[in-house]
Structure 1
Amino acid sequence: MGTVHAGPPSESNSGSAGDGHLFVELFDGKSFDGWQHGGNWRIEQGAFYRASGGGPLTYKRDVVPDDFELRFEWKVSEGCNSGVYYRPGQVEYQVLDNVGSPYGENPRQAAASLFFCMAPSKDATRPVGQWNSARVLCKGTVIQHWLNGQKVLDFDYTDPKWADMVELLTIRGGDLTGRGGELWLQDHGQPVWYRSLSWRVIPGDEILEASDDFEPMPIPPAALAKERQRVEAMLRQKRSQ
């Protein structure tokens, strides 16, 4: 794959620390070069398109860097649930139709959440059928998710005040300390599109600090009750193994 410069600030890269650093293009818009799938993904108008059931689309050319910025664009069909996995195990930038999917009732499962861990601070999605721009930044123990030019998730996973959320992810099978995982796009049963995927290594001298004023969206009581039931079922399954 080629390399591209970050270029001037825009909706998809506004406010990026280190704009002008070199990005590696992960998808040329024309081929599956560097990617592996089960035959269920296609390329449509310069985008990956999940056309039928058959599993995820996985980038095989390299593992995800330890400290990185990932940029991509995504578009969902009505009721769609998908996601971009960037650490080993269940560590996912959620891609969702917040309105049409039942997952949308819980902000910890909403678009741009760190799924089943941390809710975004707001719903910044565009309507179904429109493209959304996304960014994931990870350096050390800090994780940021951006959506349509807005930083909607920003936390240090070692901060004790987020311990309960991190434990939720651990129960699900996610480990935020993991490194060296593959980047993959989820097939969860509905049509979804991805394009403009690129990443860069965040250099050692570039500072990424968690915001003190980050506040995830609150979880409605009914959604919280369902989440607790799901957690109890996961724990019962673990105890039975």
Structure 2
Amino acid sequence: MLLRLGLFFLLTSVASTLLAEDSVNQLTPEEKADGFELLFNGADLTGWKHNGNWKVTDGVIERTGKGGDVVYEVKPVPDDFELRFQWKVAPGSNSGIYYRPGQYEYQILDNERHPNGKVADTTAASLYYCIAPSHDATKEPGEWNTGRIVCQGTIIQHWLNGEKVVDIDYTDPKLSAEIEKLKKRGATLDSRGAKLKLQDHGDPVWYRGLKLKTLDGTAKLDRSPLKTK
């Protein structure tokens, strides 16, 4: 009896996990009502352009070899938007998500094992080479992380695993030194209209649950102070 009960609970747990993973690439009723759209259908790379070095396995976008970034070609990133996504890396891996012209990058990284993890403004969830996250909220390699990018006007926010780790207004004079580094990477701060890109940096990386919402430019953003650990 105990053996059968144990097997029942094990099968129930596995079924629940598979159902949850299947739903990652679907919009919840709340997301639909809120205006989100799917960028990845969970089955293939329809709408995405690459050189044969990316594929879909079990509902996940996977880098499989050298060949460059995978680019969402359906439309440019809106001027004001919220992007939701999940990502994981292998030990020592490096990747990134590009969302505005001129090297605006949400860094994807194994902080512990990659050299970029030793420099604050190139760690995971940083605005790469510009703004360091307030703290390290990453999970271990092989585990899924949840990310968000929110941009409205001159405000840029990066979120990691439910925690806001970057929140800037790039017109703030206190950030002039940091923003100058972004300019050196090619950013014209007011430029908009880039195609969303998932970076091929030569390392194993996985993405899923990519969902995009266009903001109207007047959305009330969470500007609460960043937490540190």
Tell me the TM-score range normalised by the shorter chain.
Answer: 0.7 to 0.9
**Which whole-Å deviations, capped at 9, do the CAs of 1:146-179 have from their partners, x for residues lacking one?**
0001011111000101111000111122233210
CA contact (8 A) 1:69 1:137 kept: yes
Shift in Å at residue 3 of structure 1? 8.3
- Which of 184, 190, 199 does residue 203 from structure 2 map onto? 190
Q: Which has the higher Rg, Structure 1 or Structure 2?
A: 2
- Look up the equivalent residue of 2:39 and give its one-letter code: L
Q: Partner residue of 2:189?
A: 176
Q: Secondary structure at the match of 1:7?
A: helix
Question: What's the C-alpha RMSD, in Å, of the aligned pairs?
Answer: 2.0
Which structure 2 residues correspond to residues 10-21 of structure 1 after superposition, within 5 A?
A: 20-21=33-34
Number of aligned residue pairs: give it.
205
Which structure 2 residues correspond to residues 147-162 of structure 1 after superposition, within 5 A?
A: 147-162=160-175
Could you tell me how far apart the structure 1 residues matched to 2:169 and 2:36 are? Answer: 24
Q: Which runs of 5+ in 1 are unaligned?
A: 9-18, 218-241
- Look up the equivalent residue of 1:22 and give its one-letter code: G
CA contact (8 A) 1:91 1:175 kept: no
| Residue 40 of structure 2 corresponds to residue 27 of structure 1 | yes
- Look up the equivalent residue of 1:7 and give its one-letter code: E
Could you tell me how far apart the structure 1 residues matched to 2:117 and 2:218 are? Answer: 38
Could you tell me how far apart the structure 2 residues matched to 1:46 and 1:29 are? Answer: 4
Q: Secondary structure at the match of 1:38?
A: coil
Shift in Å at residue 7 of structure 1? 2.6
**Which whole-Å deviations, capped at 9, do the CAs of 1:129-148 have from their partners, x for residues lacking one?**
00000000000100110000
Q: Partner residue of 2:82?
A: 69
Could you tell me how far apart the structure 1 residues matched to 2:71 and 2:189 are? Answer: 20
CA contact (8 A) 1:5 1:21 kept: no
Q: Which runs of 5+ in 2 are unaligned?
A: 1-24
Could you tell me how far apart the structure 1 residues matched to 2:116 and 2:228 are? Answer: 16
Could you tell me how far apart the structure 2 residues matched to 1:156 and 1:72 are? Answer: 23
Shift in Å at residue 210 of structure 1? 4.2
Could you tell me how far apart the structure 1 residues matched to 2:151 and 2:118 are? Answer: 27
- Which of 147, 151, 154 does residue 138 from structure 1 map onto? 151
Q: After TM superposition, what 4+ stretches of structure 1 lie above 3 angstroms from structure 2? A: 2-6, 213-217
**Which whole-Å deviations, capped at 9, do the CAs of 1:41-84 have from their partners, x for residues lacking one?**
01111010001100000000000000000000000011111000
Over the matched positions of the two proteins, sequence identity in percent amounts to 49
Could you tell me how far apart the structure 2 residues matched to 1:114 and 1:176 are? Answer: 13
Could you tell me how far apart the structure 1 residues matched to 2:103 and 2:29 are? Answer: 29
